[in-house]
Amino acid sequence: MISKISRWIDERVAWRQVWEAIFLRKVPKVNWFYTLGSASLFVAINQAITGILLTIYYVPTPDHAYDSVQYITTQVPLGWLIRGLHHWGASAMVILVVLHMLRVILYGAYKYPREVTWFTGVFLLLVVIGFGFTGYLLPWDQKAYWATTVGTRIAGTPPIIGDYLLRIIRGGGEISAVTLVRFFGTHVWVLPASLLLLIGIHLYLVIRNGISAVPKKGE
């Protein structure tokens, strides 16, 4: 019965072909360092799920941001778990993505024909850092406020454009409600959209070009 249904669907959408291309493709004999990309993807999915759940209670205004986060952590059943997964997942994400990048560098996997995969990876790293930077402000506590004060000041250091840059990032002269919402909007709309697009290209290229083998001595 189930196989009948799946055959009926497969005849029309050819999902088996897609499935095989993704999961049953041939790979060279590799080692555990080659799982770092999949690990990053797994944590990214964790961040998406827990992030969506957090927005169910979180309110991005100076009046409510801190209290709503406290409410999630102390009042909502398993809220501590969801927030904890998102919080620690964020750190894990940065670590995994950097390790993934190191593996690609050290194994020379960025070379022909995989340069474009590498370029998208570089942008993905920037997006992940952007997630970390914007997400850090959202709990709206002292640590968040001062970290963002410092972070935006750093953006303000280049000559000539620095001051404009700082004002654009903050949405004005100082850190305010405007800053909080634009960080929130960036964190939940702009960056996820970019991440999705870039991951799509990145994974397509990984599958299209196949993964690189472990380089041999003298290569």
Partner 1 sequence: MGESKELSRHNFMQLAIWGVGGLIGAGFGIPAIVYVVGPSLQSQQTQSWMRLGPTSKVELGTPTLFTVTIETQTGWITNEQEISVYILTNDARTYIAMSNICTHLGCHIRWIAEQNHFFCPCHNGVFDASGNVISGPPPRPLNRYDVKVENDQLFVLVGG
One symbol per residue from 73 to 112: x for binding partner 1 (CB under 8 A), - otherwise; what is it?
Answer: --xxxxx-xx------------------------------
Residue type, 210: G
Rg (CA), the chain: 21
Half-sphere exposure of 193 (CA within 13 A, CB side): 5
Q: Which tokens hold the place of 197?
A: 């697009």
Between 53 and 188, name the residue whose CB sits nearer to partner 1. 53
54: Cβ contacts below 8 Å, ≥ 6 apart: 72, 82, 83, 86
Which one of 9-17, 49-57, 107-115, 163-171 is the stretch in contact with partner 1 (CB under 8 A)?
Answer: 49-57
CB of 179 to partner 1, least distance (A): 21
Q: Is 52 helix (H, G, I), strand (E, B) or coil?
A: helix
Q: If DSSP codes are grouped into helix, strand and coil, which group holds residue 29?
A: coil
Token pair belonging to 194: 């970019």
Shortest approach of partner 1 to residue 77 CB, angstroms?
3
CA atoms within 13 A on the CB side of 99: 15
Q: Which of 56/168 has CB closer to partner 1?
A: 56
**Size of the residue set binding partner 1 (CB under 8 A):** 17
Burial class (CB in 10 A: 0-12, 13-18, 19+), 193: exposed
Of 81 and 154, nearer to partner 1 (C-beta) is 81
CB of 52 to partner 1, least distance (A): 9
Integer Cα distance of 39 and 57 in angstroms: 28
For partner 1, the closer CB: 76 or 125: 76
- Which residue carries 């944590």 as its tokens? 43
Q: Which is nearer to partner 1, 1 or 160 (CB)?
A: 1
Please report how close the Cβ of residue 137 comes to partner 1 at its closest, in angstroms: 19
Binding mask 50-79 for partner 1 (x = CB under 8 A): ---x--xx------x--xx-xx---xxxxx
Residue with Cβ nearer partner 1 (73 or 209): 73
- The SS3 assignment for 138 reads coil
Smallest distance, Å, CB 184 to partner 1? 17
Amino acid at 83: R
Provide the minimum distance between the beta carbon of 53 and partner 1 in the complex, in angstroms, as a whole number: 6
The footprint of partner 1 (CB under 8 A) covers 46, 49, 53, 56-57, 64, 67-68, 70-71, 75-79, 81-82
